[in-house]
């Protein structure tokens, strides 16, 4: 004769089965290979106007989202250049604007205007050299940044005119939209041949670059 199972016992048994299914589902989710993770929107990695250094056909492309007022961006910049020098012709660096600090959007516009004159890199290096002066307390002050441009080969009158150019403003806004698409929330943020860093740090960047160099001999 079939025994009647108490209602409470049946409910407890069903809950146990439910918890077991949830646990298995969570384990399967966490154990998914990285290849099954959502793919990056590669169209958001680069734009035609983005400043770049290195051969256009270099097998390894580093995309950096940066803020000129970011102290870590300044610290990593010479390390990235040194890494490029160690692998001549094999690494290209492409810069994207991410003005997250207060007031740095104006300094980014200044850099974009210098880029229009073919002077992005020397202007960036001059600004990095004076960063402690014009970017204090996490706030960028463009009026203090101007004096670091006097020794650059720049048409300062044209530079001042271009600062408010619609093209420059649109480029900055596009870079910020792309940063949002790629979940970039701090600077510097790097992508190597489309691969994000597994965790933040220069050694992690170097390891990712070495992996891509090995894949593209």
180-203 pLDDT per residue, tens: 999 999 999 999 999 999 999 999
**Residue 141 or residue 20, greater confidence:** 141
CA–CA dist 150, 187 (Å, integer): 27
Distances (CA, A) of 177 to 37, 120, 139, 168: 21, 22, 22, 14
Q: What is the value of pTM for the model shown? A: 0.81
CA–CA dist 161, 165 (Å, integer): 7
Q: What does the pLDDT read at residue 150?
A: 85
Average pLDDT over residues 80-103: 97
Q: Per-residue confidence at 14, pLDDT binned at 50, 70, 90?
A: very low
* Mean pLDDT value across the chain: 86
Distances (CA, A) of 14 to 11, 20, 142, 167: 5, 10, 65, 62
| Closest among 154, 137, 195 to 205, alpha carbons compared | 195
Q: What does the pLDDT read at residue 145?
A: 95
Q: What does the pLDDT read at residue 18?
A: 38
Average pLDDT over residues 149-175: 93
| pLDDT(39) > 80 | no
Give the tokens for residue 36.
Answer: 């099954």
CA–CA dist 56, 110 (Å, integer): 25
Average pLDDT over residues 69-98: 98
| pLDDT(5) > 70 | no
| pLDDT(20) > 80 | no
Average pLDDT over residues 134-144: 92
Q: What does the pLDDT read at residue 6?
A: 52
| pLDDT(36) > 60 | no
């Amino acid at each position: 004769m079939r025994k009647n199972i108490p209602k409470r016992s049946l409910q407890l048994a069903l809950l146990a089965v439910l918890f077991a299914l949830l646990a298995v589902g969570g384990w399967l989710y966490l154990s998914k290979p990285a290849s099954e993770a959502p793919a990056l929107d590669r169209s958001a990695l680069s734009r035609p106007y983005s400043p770049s250094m290195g051969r256009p056909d270099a097998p390894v492309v580093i995309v950096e989202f940066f803020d000129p007022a970011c102290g870590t961006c300044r610290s990593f910049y010479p390390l990235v250049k040194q890494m490029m020098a160690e692998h001549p012709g094999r690494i290209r660096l492409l810069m994207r604007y991410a003005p997250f600090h207060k007031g740095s959007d104006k300094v980014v516009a200044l850099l974009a205007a210098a880029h229009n004159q073919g002077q992005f890199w020397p202007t960036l290096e001059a600004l990095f050299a004076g960063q402690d002066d014009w970017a204090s307390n996490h706030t960028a002050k463009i009026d203090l940044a101007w004096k670091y441009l006097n020794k650059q080969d720049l048409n300062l009158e044209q530079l001042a005119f271009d600062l408010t150019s619609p093209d420059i403003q649109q480029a900055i806004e596009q870079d910020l939209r792309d940063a949002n698409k790629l979940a970039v929330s701090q600077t510097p943020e790097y992508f190597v041949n489309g691969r994000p860093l597994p965790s933040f740090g220069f050694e992690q960047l170097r390891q990712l670059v070495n992996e891509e160099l090995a894949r593209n001999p």
